[in-house]
Amino acid sequence: MSGRRVVIAGLGDVGVLTAIKLAKHADVVGISAKPGLVSGQELGWRLARPDDWARHNWIPFGRFRGLDSVRTVHGTLTGADLDARTVTVELPDGSSTEVPYDVLVIATGVANGFWRRPVLQSADDIGDDLRMPHEKLSAAKSVMIVGGGAAAVSSAAQIANAWPDKQVELYFPGDRALIGHHPRTWEKVQRRLIDAGVRLRPGHRAELAPGFTGDELTSEPVRWSTGQPPSSAEVVLWAIGRVRPNTGWLPPELLDEHGFVRVTPELRVPGRPEVFAVGDVAATDPLRSSARNRADGLLARNIRAAFGGKPLRDYRAPKRRWGSVLGIQPDGLEVFAPNGTAFRFPAWTFDRVLMPLFVRWGIYRGVRQENS
């Protein structure tokens, strides 16, 4: 593979991991609207304790040892010429450049709320994005979270634990939240939410104006299409899963009817053997689960196999979501398996074992200290 260029469009969680796994096997170029990895995970932790969250989830690219040989381009993707095998990037100074590729990996993810936006940002911009929502929540006496997924649930738990004097309410449309997880997961999480003082409001589906995406914290009363009277709080956090794929720069023929990138089971784009897609942007399955199931390893292996003329392997999606739902809590980290079984790691292991050894070395293959 020496001399082959792989361009990775998008350096979020899965893009960074893919780049690290390919760095020793190809000439890798990564394109990102951010100057580092800004994870889209653990929204509740980010809102309640942004400084702690940032230590583990906002990491400049230069700190990743595995990216030392990877060239990163800070800019916004604006187009792709599939026949010429180039992508166009608008740089921070307003100029444009074309980046050629032998293989293109589309990992541009989705937009989802104020915490996952594809806009070009500097380090200062990212700092503002972390600080301002936290300050609004800190000043509020009452908080409503609207949504039933992991982002909504973790936000409710983290906000309630960080500010025990606040009134925190979680509104979701069904009889239970976390419908993508095993029912046993919700049973355990529900108890934790109640113990934290969160008021659960099942059966509430928000009445949304056309085009509303919930990308900002709001304060107006929320109306319900399910018949309940309007509800109010000083701050309303919307975690309603209105995701939009970041694919406006791609030719329409690559996309499905919802704007996600069509892929074969090998994570290859049909009709374009030199183009792959992975993560939330890839239409692998209804949950688009390749973002959360270490598909980066399979993708890197398939790209190496493609260069060598060897068979590619299929991505097999799990039927249920799994992982940490609530994030790190005062008593530790709880991780849920697809069957709802919970595994608990004591709090002391998080900073001493899990993050430095398992994550920074085991997954990212080395992350330098901030002052190194």
The reported pLDDT for the residue numbered 102 is: 98
Q: Residue 372 — very low, low, confident or very high, per pLDDT cuts 50/70/90?
A: low
Mean pLDDT throughout 185-214? 95
Residue 103 has pLDDT above 60, yes or no: yes
Q: What is the pLDDT of residues 262-289, one digit of tens each?
A: 999 999 999 999 999 999 999 999 889 9
The reported pLDDT for the residue numbered 287 is: 85
Residue type present at position 50: P
Task: Please report the DSSP string for 320-367 in residue order.
Answer: S--EESS-SBTTBEEEE-TTS-EEEE-HHHIIIIIIIIIIIIIITS-B
Give the three-class secondary structure for 89. strand
The mean predicted confidence, pLDDT, of the chain is 95
pTM beyond cutoff 0.85: yes
Could you give the CA distance from residue 112 to residue 120 in angstroms, rounded to a whole number?
Answer: 15
Could you give the CA distance from residue 60 to residue 47 in angstroms, rounded to a whole number?
Answer: 20
Domains along the chain with CATH numbers: 5-121+243-319 (3.50.50.60), 133-241 (3.50.50.60)
Residue 318 has pLDDT above 90, yes or no: no
Could you give the CA distance from residue 145 to residue 236 in angstroms, rounded to a whole number?
Answer: 6
Burial of 152 (0-12, 13-18, 19+ CB in 10 A): buried
Residue 260 has pLDDT above 90, yes or no: yes
Q: Residue 322 — very low, low, confident or very high, per pLDDT cuts 50/70/90?
A: confident
Query: Which region among 37-41, 188-192, 254-258, 328-332 has the lowest average model confidence (pLDDT)?
Result: 328-332
The reported pLDDT for the residue numbered 213 is: 87
Task: Please report the DSSP string for 217-281 in residue order.
Answer: -B-SPBPBTTSPPPB--SEEEE-----EES-TTS-GGGB-TTSPBP--TTSEETTEEEEEE-STT
Cβ proximity of 20 and 66 under 8 Å: yes
Cα–Cα–Cα angle for 294, 24, 367, nearest 5°?
Answer: 65
Q: Residue 245 — very low, low, confident or very high, per pLDDT cuts 50/70/90?
A: very high
Residue 294 has pLDDT above 90, yes or no: no
Could you give the CA distance from residue 274 to residue 111 in angstroms, rounded to a whole number?
Answer: 25
For residue 177, what are its two tokens?
Answer: 């939240």
Cα–Cα–Cα angle for 1, 68, 30, nearest 5°?
Answer: 65
Residue 1 has pLDDT above 60, yes or no: no
Residue 2 has pLDDT above 70, yes or no: no
The reported pLDDT for the residue numbered 370 is: 82
For residue 107, what are its two tokens?
Answer: 């990992």
Residue 201 has pLDDT above 70, yes or no: yes
Query: Which region among 78-92, 129-143, 307-321 has the lowest average model confidence (pLDDT)?
Result: 307-321
Q: What is the pLDDT of residues 106-117, one digit of tens each?
A: 999 999 989 999
Task: Please report the DSSP string for 101-118 in residue order.
Answer: -SEEEE---EE-STTS--
- Find the length of the chain: 372
Q: Residue 129 — very low, low, confident or very high, per pLDDT cuts 50/70/90?
A: very high
What residues contact 81, with CB distance under 8 A and at least 6 apart? 87, 88, 98
Mean pLDDT throughout 6-13? 97
Nearest-CA neighbor of 106 among 244, 242, 1, 250? 250
Element (H, E) at 205: none
Q: Residue 320 — very low, low, confident or very high, per pLDDT cuts 50/70/90?
A: confident
Burial 162-187, CB ≥16 within 10 A → b, else e = bbeebbbbbbbbeebbbebbbeebbe
